[in-house]
Chain A
Amino acid sequence: MQFDLAIILDNWQSLAAGLARTIGICAISLPVGFLLGVAIALLRMHGGRLLGAFAGAYVELFRNIPFLIQVFLLFFVAPAYGLRLSPLMAAFVAMSAYTSAYAAEIMRGALLSIPAGQTEAGYALGLGYPTILRRVLLPQVLGYILPTSTNLTISLVKESAILSTITVPELTYAAQNIVGRTYSPVEVFTAIALIYWGLTALISALTKRLEIRLQPHLISRRDN
Chain B
Amino acid sequence: MCITLIASQEFFAPMRYSAFSVITQALRGHTGWKPAWRKAEPAPHYDVVIIGGGGGGLATAYYLARHHNVGRIAVLEKGWLGNGSIGRNTTIIRSNYGLPGNIPFYELSMKLWEGLEQDINYNAMVSQRGIFNIYHNDAQRDSYARRGNAMRLHGMEAELLDRAQLRKEFAYLDYENARFPIQGALVQRRAGTARHDAVAWGYARAADKLGVDIIENCEVTGIDIENGIVKGVQTTRGAITAGKVGIAVAGASSLVGAMAGLRLPIESHALQAFVSEGLKPLLDNVITFGAGHFYISQSDKGGLVFGGDIDGYNSYAARGNLPTVEDVCEGGIALMPMIGRARLLRSWGGIMDMTMDGSPIIDKTPVGNLFFNGGWCYGGFKATPASGFCFAHLLAREEPHPVAAAYRLDRFAEGKLIDEKGAGAQPNLH
Chain B binds chain A: no
List A residues at the B interface (Cβ < 8 Å): none
List B residues at the A interface (Cβ < 8 Å): none
